[in-house]
Each structure stands twice: as C-alpha cells, then as structure tokens.
C-alpha cells in the first residue's frame, strides 16, 4: 500500500472499542513474537496515560490493528524513552499497509512531542518482525533487552 486510504486512522482506546481491540489476533505462528492486546492494555494502564500511548488502527469502522507507543523522556533505559512498545495487525489484515501506517503514526506523534529518535524491540526468529522493521528504516543498535534486538530510527 503506497497511499494511505482516507478511512485509515488511529483511535484512542475507549469503553466502546476496547472489546474490538482485545479481539485482534495475529497469525498463530506470530504469537511468540508479540504480546496479546489485553496484556498491552494492562501495561498501558500500569504505565499511565502520560507514558503509554495505546491506539487502535482503524480502517473505516473496522479495527484492523493495535499499536502502542511509549513516551518517557526521563526513562532510565534509553530504549524506553520514545518507542513502539507493541504492534499487532490482525491475521486477516496483514500485508495491506496497516502496520506501516501505524509505525508512521507513532513516528509522527514522537515528532510532535519533540523527539528525534524512535526505538522498537523485536525477538529474532523465522516469521518474526525484523524484516518489517528494517524495511521501514529501523537499524539494530547492537544492544539487546533480554533476548530482544533493540532497533532505532532517526526521525528527520
């Protein structure tokens, strides 16, 4: 998908759409690479609204994905200062540009907040998201958080 359809947008998680968010499922072979949305929402609640930025990826009225940015300029761990904490695109909607749209939207929010570097972490392995992230311009930093690769992208 080279152009963003006019109906594509991010939506704040609300009581009206939280169920749709929790129903999103990646492909079974991808489940080991990303936490389910309900876990992400629990982590967002614990982190607080000034740090966690969970959003539904909407195509018209249909929830097609979930992305959570994290913005904590004072975090003790550099990778947690400005990054993508989660990205889930439902199995039936993958390959249509929704993930790319979500990453760009988080990058736009980061710029709006005055940030110039966006991080992401991924678990390496066959079927994992490394190719997706590097294809968007993220580069491994050479650092790891546990067994996850830390990637970074500088925002122009």
Summarize pLDDT for 59-106 with one digit per residue, the tens: 999 999 999 999 999 999 999 999 999 999 999 999 999 999 999 999
Of the candidates 146, 45, 40, the one whose C-alpha atom is nearest the C-alpha of residue 102 is: 40
- Cβ atoms within 10 Å of 116's Cβ, excluding its own: 11
**What is the reported pLDDT for 93?**
97
Report residue 77 as tokens: 């761990």
Name the pLDDT band for 156 (thresholds 50, 70, 90). Answer: confident
**What is the reported pLDDT for 4?**
56
Name the pLDDT band for 142 (thresholds 50, 70, 90). Answer: very high
Query: How far is 78 from 55, CA to CA, in rounded Å?
Result: 23
Q: Which of left, alpha, beta for 143 (phi over 0: left; psi -120 to 50: alpha)?
A: beta
CA dist list (Å): 35 to 22, 39, 110, 155: 11, 6, 22, 26
Query: What average pLDDT does the segment 39-68 reach?
Result: 97
**What is the reported pLDDT for 105?**
98
**Stated pTM of the model:** 0.93
**What is the reported pLDDT for 3?**
59
């Amino acid at each position: 998908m080279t152009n963003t359809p006019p109906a594509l947008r991010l939506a704040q998680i609300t009581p009206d759409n939280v169920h749709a968010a929790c129903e999103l499922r990646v492909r079974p072979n991808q489940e080991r690479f990303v936490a389910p949305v309900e876990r992400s929402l629990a982590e967002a609640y614990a982190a607080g609204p000034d740090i966690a930025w969970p959003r539904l990826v909407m195509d018209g009225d249909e929830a097609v994905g979930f992305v959570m940015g994290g913005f904590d300029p004072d975090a003790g761990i550099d990778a947690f200062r400005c990054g993508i904490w989660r990205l889930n695109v439902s199995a039936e909607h993958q390959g249509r540009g929704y993930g790319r749209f979500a990453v760009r939207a988080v990058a736009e929010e980061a710029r709006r907040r005055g940030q110039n570097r966006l991080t992401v972490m991924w678990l390496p392995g066959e079927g994992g998201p490394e190719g997706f992230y590097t294809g968007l311009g993220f580069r491994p930093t050479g650092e790891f958080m546990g067994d996850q690769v830390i990637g970074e992208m500088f925002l122009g």
